[in-house]
Structure 1
Amino acid sequence: MEPFRRILIPTDGSDNAKVAVAKGLELAKMTGAEVTAISVMDAVGLAYAAQSTTMSPIYQLLKDGADSAVGQVRKEGEKLGVPVRTVVKEGNPADEIAKASGNYDLIVMGTLGRTGLAHLLLGSVAEKVVRFASCPVMVVRVPKKTGSE
């Protein structure tokens, strides 16, 4: 098996993504891999913004959120001595991540672990990426919280 040289870490800045970011950066540090953090501004949110009379502020909020998410990965990478390139795109997150996958040896991403009706209605970005990516995908699930936390 060839070592991982280029790792793609998708992020939306959520706690679930942060767990995957930590794992991806740790792996990159161990293997000497290059890291790219990607955040995709969801087309659904952009479509909503386009219908709004205040499109510019909504778009800017989405853009600021995406920039912040990849910026956080860069900061975490700096702490570990792992350089991180950042990319922000617009579109369907699963599609954009899968399209980008051809340029990477591994994708490390988080998942919400939805089940039942929520999974049926919302689907899973991670599941779609696993299905359509052209490189291996490591899906990092956030540990479930117990009632005592």
Structure 2
Amino acid sequence: MTAEYTQMKRVLFCTDFSANAHYAFDFAVDAAAKRDGCELILLHVIPEPDAQFWKTYIYELDTDVDKNAREALDAKIAGEYRPRVPAGVPFRAEFRIGKDYAKIIDVARELEADLIVLGRQGRGALQSIFFGTVAEKVVKRSTCPVLVIPLPRNDHASPGAE
């Protein structure tokens, strides 16, 4: 017995706020906008060591670190992403703390995503030349289709540039 394709209801867009993710967002918007009632969900995963470091580092200065971090991310999304979503396309943002590819897979399952969209190369210091390690791991582990978007040929940064 084979599974049947059903109407796409949720597109999960994963961002690390890199140039590649910014470019890939247009593909996620297009996929959601072409399907009536399809929800576009933006996911940003904060790596656990980074989150714990910053919480410890600024704890004495401000006890509302999580609230302030969420407000900063919300402002970034409101400025960079929300204006690019057409009226009528349901849109929301989700944040998780943990291992990037694992959280992407977990959230895709939890939210029953029909498609995952992400950039091929993110902000990682040691980027894979041919295929970003996060994208590769998501493709290998996902149970739903994954659309991996490279930067356009003329936008590929030279080594060391972002």
TM over 0.5: yes
Higher helix fraction (1 or 2):
1
Higher strand fraction (1 or 2):
1
Residues 83 and 118 from structure 1, CA distance in 2 versus in 1: closer, same or farther, beyond 3 angstroms?
Answer: closer
Identity in percent: 28
Q: CA deviation at 1:142?
A: 0.8
Residues 135 and 144 from structure 1, CA distance in 2 versus in 1: closer, same or farther, beyond 3 angstroms?
Answer: same
Residues 41 and 119 from structure 1, CA distance in 2 versus in 1: closer, same or farther, beyond 3 angstroms?
Answer: same
Residues 63 and 41 from structure 1, CA distance in 2 versus in 1: closer, same or farther, beyond 3 angstroms?
Answer: farther
Q: Is this contact kept in 2: 1:41–1:90, CA < 8 A?
A: yes
TM-score, length basis structure 2: 0.71
**AA of the residue aligned to 2:107:** A
Q: CA deviation at 1:51?
A: 5.0
1:74 aligns with 2:73: no
Instruction: Detail structure 1 runs of 4+ shifted over 6 Å in the superposition.
Output: none
Residues 146 and 46 from structure 1, CA distance in 2 versus in 1: closer, same or farther, beyond 3 angstroms?
Answer: closer
Unaligned runs of 5+ in 1: none
**Match among 132, 135, 153 for residue 126 of structure 1:** 135
Unaligned runs of 5+ in 2: 157-162
**Match among 136, 145, 149 for residue 154 of structure 2:** 145
Q: Give the number of aligned pairs.
A: 140
Q: Which has the larger radius of gyration?
A: 2
Residues 133 and 66 from structure 1, CA distance in 2 versus in 1: closer, same or farther, beyond 3 angstroms?
Answer: farther
Q: CA deviation at 1:107?
A: 0.5
**Match among 80, 99, 102 for residue 95 of structure 1:** 102
Q: Deviations for 1:45-68, whole angstroms, at most 9, x for unmatched residues?
A: 11332553x3467x5675455334
Task: Provide the residue aligned with 1:27 in structure 2.
Answer: 31
Q: 1:43, 1:69 → 2: CA distance?
A: 20
